[in-house]
Amino acid sequence: GGALSFLELLEQQPYTPLLPLGTTGTLDKAKWVVIAYLRRSCEVEGTQYPWEEYLLFNQQRGFTWLMCSNNHWSWLQPLSAGEVQLGFRGLTYNKQPYREYQRVYARTDYVIGECYWAVKVGELAKASEFVAPPLSVNFDETETEVSVTRGALLSSEEIQKAFSLKQKPPEP
């Protein structure tokens, strides 16, 4: 019978993903759904470098990732660590050499959605990237696990088409 009042205002989310949770898209001839969004960063010589990661799921193919850094999109598919031969300052995957590009500590700054591990804001992982442009092999190491992915660059047009976006994402 009285005036309505808010008990608590919902907090404004600090980041707006280009691909909101629940968005579906077709990549590599399969339909994927965005189930999580992470904002991660690293610090190099006092400068913070952020990027975004989207966890995708397909019922038959499992989990995979889309990463966006400086408007460069990468399709990251899981690899078995046994498929990669590490060497000094490089590695070999599928008989192709990859050179070491960077090693940083990646920090999770923000996360929404469902992940297949208990991710927390502030979590650190040692991230290593090896390249044979336009491909990469990436290692993410925490205290409890190592994940390995193979990355391939995608254009803004490919992302727009795959996820039926009204506007093309910004160019790198």
pLDDT at residue 1 in the model = 53
DSSP letter for each residue of the chain: ------SSPPPPPS---SS-TT-EEEETTEEEEEEEEEEEEEEETTEEEEEEEEEEEETTTEEEEEEEETTEEEEEEEE-GGGEEEETTEEEETTEEEEEEEEEEEEEEEEEE--SS---TT-EEEEEEEEETTEEEEEEE-SS-EEEEEEEEE-HHHHHHHTT-SSPPPP-
Burial class (CB in 10 A: 0-12, 13-18, 19+), 123: middle
On the question of pLDDT at 9 being above 60, the answer is no
pLDDT at 118: 87
Over 80: is that where the pLDDT of 12 sits? no
- Mean per-residue pLDDT of the chain: 92
* Between 64 and 15, residue with greater pLDDT: 64
Give CA–CA dist 154/76, Å, rounded.
Answer: 10
pLDDT per residue as tens digits for the range 109-139 = 999 999 988 889 999 999 999 999 999 999 9
* pLDDT at site 11: 62
pLDDT > 70 in the chain, percent: 93
49 strand-pairing partners? 42
Model confidence at 88, in pLDDT bands (50, 70, 90)? confident
Question: Is residue 10 predicted with pLDDT exceeding 60?
Answer: no
Whether residue 56 contacts residue 31, with contact meaning beta carbons closer than 8 Å, is answered with no
Q: Is the pLDDT of residue 42 over 90?
A: yes
Average pLDDT over residues 42-62: 97
| CA distance linking residue 103 with residue 46, whole number of Å | 15
pLDDT greater than 70 at residue 5: no
Residue 128: what pLDDT?
96
CA distance between the termini of the chain:
56
pLDDT tier at 144 (50, 70, 90 boundaries)? confident
